[in-house]
Amino acid sequence: MDANEIRKVVLGELRRIAPELEEVAPAKPLRDQVDLDSMDWLNFLVALNERLQIEIPEADYRKLGTLDQVVQYLAAKAR
Amino acid sequence: MERPPIIRKSAAGRRVPPSAPLSWDEARRRLAGLPGGGLNIAHEAVDRHATGRLADRVAIRWLGASGARREITYRELAALSSRFAHVYRSLGVEKGDAVFVLCGRIPELYAAVLGGLKCGAAVSPLFAAFGPEPLKTRIKLGRGKVLVTTEALYERKVKKVAGDMPTLAHVLALDSAEASSMLRSASESFEIERTTPDDISFLHFTSGTTGMPKGAQHVHGAVVMHCASAKVALDLHDEDIFWCTADPGWVTGTSYGIVAPLVQGVTSVVDEAEFDAERWYSILEAEKVAVWYTAPTAIRMLMKGGAGAAKRRPLPALRFIASVGEPLNPEAVWWGMDAFGLPIHDNWWQTETGGIMIANTAAMDVKPGSMGKPLAGVEAAIARRSERGMRLLEGPGEEGELVLRAGWPAMFRGYLGEEERYRRCFADGWYFTGDLAKRDADGYFWFVGRADDVIKSAGHLIGPFEVESALMEHAAVAEAGVIGKPDPVVGEVVMAFVMLKSGFEPSEELRLAILGHARRRLGAAVAPKEIAFATALPRTRSGKIMRRLLKARELGLPEGDTSMLEEGA
């Protein structure tokens, strides 16, 4: 799966949790652009994990601030 | 593994002797009072320290989400809050006017709140995760005159409802050129409004089963209780580093995130970022936190990562951990022993009580799963109320409503504009909390459940009516019933059952559209996490939705007495 496909999956899962989401600035912190409480954020990461079968250890959560960071992180692990 | 029902403490294991119980009178004597008479929380919290031995002590150590760091001394906080007070005055704020504060955990928030208190305003901090509807409802009910916020929050949350808040005379965006110029040119000294212990200080909104949120009015005299409880229930000592993880948009974050530690003269850590397990452990370690006041949801999220992550950090400074928001399960108390070598001390209070009422204190043995015992000066009991009056239940283990003898210093003095609703909370000199509980033979209190349909999610009360109202504004929704569905991490999640209008068919697309609608209006903290379609909602014969029955059906529990049920539902 390439980065573009991963981006689609990430946005799709994000919209399942926050359907009100319109456009996302990929380099800006996600949580400044969309209201995600701690539970939404965990549900989002768990959904990505299930959908892509990629482990996301809790220690890595802080590396996942922006859409670009999430996509890059997952793409690197998907290889 | 079999765990004993009590964690005994021994004097030998203590580095610091626990604080002795403090009576209200003793706490009163620790306060300065306004020069020339009167009592004002901001004076007790900052101004008196700013001219004394604590002037150069760090009051707030702020940790920015992206790594910035800022320290504000008591002297600086006194000066900055005075600047805010002048700005409010210049905007026409007089004693008794309402100032609302809506921003993330940024340093200016603290000065903005204290500045409002200096003016004698009723200060109402709002949670930044609320959506436009809850914000509008609260500002309207509270007759807000000034709203302090940021440009980003104004754009995202306030702008679309700004035309519907007629009392709001001014919005002050902290990061605007206007605000910085007003603050810069304001004086650093301000003569605090001569408030009395009975004058309104804070307006905290809380939720009930029916109707819109209630604005609980608090007074400056509450500071007596903040002083005593910080000492006894949180074991705060001079020179402690304290970290209260609650957001000031909720009462815990105001009473114990702003007022109590400042009154005590300690250094508070304020973290701007959202919960992150690794970040939290590194804050505990690097900032040498001695006393940590957090919440069950956060503790359970830390537990998911295992005790190993905590044990990798040496935390020699950490001495006392307390938790509030919802009952802390015994496993979490024991996990504290495993992860930190310390029990986690659960305590109990609510928006209306203004301060901690019942606690497992540093001096006490801890019963995991219990909320502890009433603090000195607090009288708590278990009671049952009927149409003929009330009856105290004295026997150990008897379940009933938790009641408190009215008159403690931080007791709320009214629900704004709803005198009847306030009066109904009291009977025979007791305040009825709405929580069901029992007391054991040793005098420890145990939470049993809520007496009403209010939802408790991540320690925050959510009124089902407010959520249902927002759902019913969607074009496809005919009716909605909202319940709290038990969840192992956050206690309860908001779950909505919606009945569609004719012409609409259930689909995943429609479900997401309704969810998006609710989130846009209510914000992530209040909107449902789950939405299910229903073909009928159970109602009483008088037409009220029976949320209790919806919940029982969802959970597969016995439906109980359904004699009031409308036929066919």
Closest A-chain CA to B104: A32
Mean pLDDT by 10 residues, chain B (569 residues): 83 81 94 96 98 97 96 98 98 98 97 98 95 95 98 94 95 97 98 98 90 93 97 95 96 98 98 94 97 95 89 94 93 95 96 98 95 97 90 94 97 96 96 96 94 89 91 94 93 95 95 97 95 90 81 82 53
pLDDT confidence of residue B203: 98
- Judge: A18–B519 Cβ closer than 8 Å, yes or no: yes
Instruction: Identify the DSSP state of B489.
Output: T
- Judge: A58–B458 Cβ closer than 8 Å, yes or no: no
Reading the block at residue B565, the tokens are 């049920």
- Judge: B301–A42 Cβ closer than 8 Å, yes or no: yes
Enumerate the residues of chain A whose CB falls inside 8 A of the CB of residue B297. 38
Contact B479/B402 with Cβ under 8 angstroms? no
In this structure, CATH architecture of domain B376-450: Roll (2.30)
What is the domain count for chain A?
1
- Judge: B304–A18 Cβ closer than 8 Å, yes or no: no
Pick from A20, A31, A38: CB nearest B519: A20
- The alpha carbon of residue B518 is apart from the nearest alpha carbon of chain A, in Å, by 9
- Judge: A39–B489 Cβ closer than 8 Å, yes or no: yes
- Judge: A19–B512 Cβ closer than 8 Å, yes or no: yes
Enumerate the residues of chain B whose CB falls inside 8 A of the CB of residue A19. 512-513, 515-516, 519
Residue B81 is which amino acid?
A: S
- Judge: A41–B274 Cβ closer than 8 Å, yes or no: yes
Closest A-chain CA to B131: A35
What CATH number is given to the structural domain containing A19? 1.10.1200.10
- Judge: A19–B301 Cβ closer than 8 Å, yes or no: no
Q: Per-residue pLDDT tens for A26-69?
A: 999 998 888 899 899 989 999 999 999 999 988 888 889 999 99
Domain of A51, in residue numbers = 3-78
Testing the interface with B: which of A16, A34, A39, A45 to mutate, by most B Cβ within 10 A? A39
Helix (H, G, I), strand (E, B), or coil: what is residue B20? coil
Residue A56 is which amino acid?
A: I
DSSP B155-209: IIIIGGGGGG-TT--EEEETTSHHHHHHHHHS-S--------TTSEEEEEEE--S
The domain ranges of chain B are: 11-346, 376-450, 455-555
Contact B98/B121 with Cβ under 8 angstroms? yes
The fold adopted by the segment(s) B455-555 is: GMP Synthetase; Chain A, domain 3 (3.30.300)
pLDDT confidence of residue B567: 47
Contact B272/B283 with Cβ under 8 angstroms? no
Q: Collect all residues from B whose CB is shorter than 8 A from any CB in A.
A: 65, 129, 131, 152, 274-279, 297, 301, 304-305, 309, 458, 489-490, 493, 512-513, 515-517, 519-520, 523-525, 529
Residues linked to residue B477 through DSSP beta bridges, in sequence order: B500
Closest A-chain CA to B514: A19
Residues linked to residue B69 through DSSP beta bridges, in sequence order: B63
Closest B-chain CA to A61: B276
pLDDT confidence of residue B14: 78
Reading the block at residue B423, the tokens are 């009066």
- Judge: B517–A39 Cβ closer than 8 Å, yes or no: no
Closest A-chain CA to B303: A58
Homologous superfamily (CATH) of B11-346 is ANL, N-terminal domain (3.40.50.12780)
Residues linked to residue B328 through DSSP beta bridges, in sequence order: none
Enumerate the residues of chain B whose CB falls inside 8 A of the CB of residue A31. 274
pLDDT confidence of residue B55: 98
pLDDT confidence of residue B544: 77
pTM (two decimals): 0.90
In terms of Cα–Cα distance, which of B45, B220, B33 is closest to B122?
B220
Distance between CA atoms of residues B364 and B355, nearest Å: 19
